[in-house]
Amino acid sequence: MEVAIKMAFQYWRQREGGAEGRREFLTFSEAYHGDTIGSVSAGGIDLFHKIFRPLLFPVRRLPSPHCYRCPYGLARPSCGLFCAERMEEEVRARKGEIAAAIVEPLVQGAAGMLLMPEGYLRRLRAVTRECGVLLVCDEVATGFGRTGTMFACGQEEVSPDIMAVAKGMTGGYLPLAATLATEEVYRAFLGRYEEYKAFFHGHSYTANPLGCAAAIATLSIFEREDVLPRGKRLAGTMARELAKLSGRRNVGEIRQKGLMAGIEIVADRITRERFPPERRIGQRVIREVREQGVILRPLGDVIVLMPPLSSSPAEIESLVRAAGRGIDAVLSG
């Protein structure tokens, strides 16, 4: 994401002849885009980012459009529409200052698998295009079949100006990332040698041949095999198993998009009251699950499930059932 942020800023400096106008970035609360300083500036999770605030550049941040804990205190289903309207107002009001809007499409993973309301991403794309603002989509976690389509953007027929990808590109075997841009953005960096318009950015391991070989092998599997259809079938298996957990008294909400899922554990399903952090409910649940031979990760009191696309239906069933038994073991009685 560091590359995408720098690219968006330099794009406008070169398009506007060095003008200082477009310096702002529009981001979302509860966002997570990485751990470098630019990426942390665009992030919005205080637990991770607050300590570094003196080092960060300011951003214009919108509330996360998540209905279960609506930032505007509205009841569903009106909250998604209200969030989208507020977002559009913000973009239009500051269209001359915003260089880019940065978003995790459909799922904010590190925030606890928060799901965007249907249509929100499409409306964000429409208003950014209307106002001449770049749209940057962070598909590091959601890309390469994780949400059921090759990229999450495709589910709302959205094509961003800049897209950050990683993780699934190599099947998780080796670290590799890429920043993709439209032809229009790319051409802003073309010029005579002496103009120095090129994008001067690189890492020690840029174009690492082993990482690239792993990516080529992984992408060839997507071409040869029915990875995406199989992933959708596995997501259906997961949905059926997760539905069996929804009646438990301490399961507040189950959120799923493809093979990304989160089970939010609460003290009270009606009021959505959280457990005190000192009880470490999420941590205790995953320790119980580990006794069953399954390794899961908690995000606070949200139990995260992100099985590989190569999983079998039986493995998906075992994973979800182990999570259910872990929840019961910690909260029974």
* Nearest C-alpha neighbor of 104 from the set 54, 70, 134, 138: 138
* DSSP structure class, residue 57: P
Q: What is the largest CA-CA distance in the chain?
A: 73
Which contiguous run of DSSP H or E holds residue 237?
A: helix 227-243
Q: For residue 280, count other CB atoms closer than 10 A to its CB.
A: 15
* Straight-line distance from the first to the last Cα atom of the chain, in angstroms, rounded to the nearest whole number: 45
Question: Rounded to 5 degrees, what are φ and ψ at 72?
Answer: -100, 5
pLDDT at residue 18, rounded to an integer: 62
* Whole-number Å distance between alpha carbons of 48 and 29: 12
Calculate the alpha carbon distances from 154 to 8, 55, 138, 185, 244 in Å: 22, 35, 13, 20, 29
Kindly state the tokens that stand for 331. Answer: 């909260």
pLDDT at residue 202, rounded to an integer: 86
Q: For residue 258, count other CB atoms closer than 10 A to its CB.
A: 24
* Percentage above 90 pLDDT, the chain: 83
**CATH numbers and ranges of domains, the chain:** 2-222 (3.40.640.10), 227-331 (3.90.1150.10)
pLDDT at residue 75, rounded to an integer: 60
Q: How does DSSP assign 1-19, residue by residue?
A: -HHHHHHHHHHHHHHTTT-
* DSSP structure class, residue 44: -
| Low-confidence residues of the chain: pLDDT under 70 | 17-20, 75-78, 333
Task: State the pairing for strand pair 162-165/134-138.
Answer: parallel
* Whole-number Å distance between alpha carbons of 252 and 268: 8
pTM: 0.94
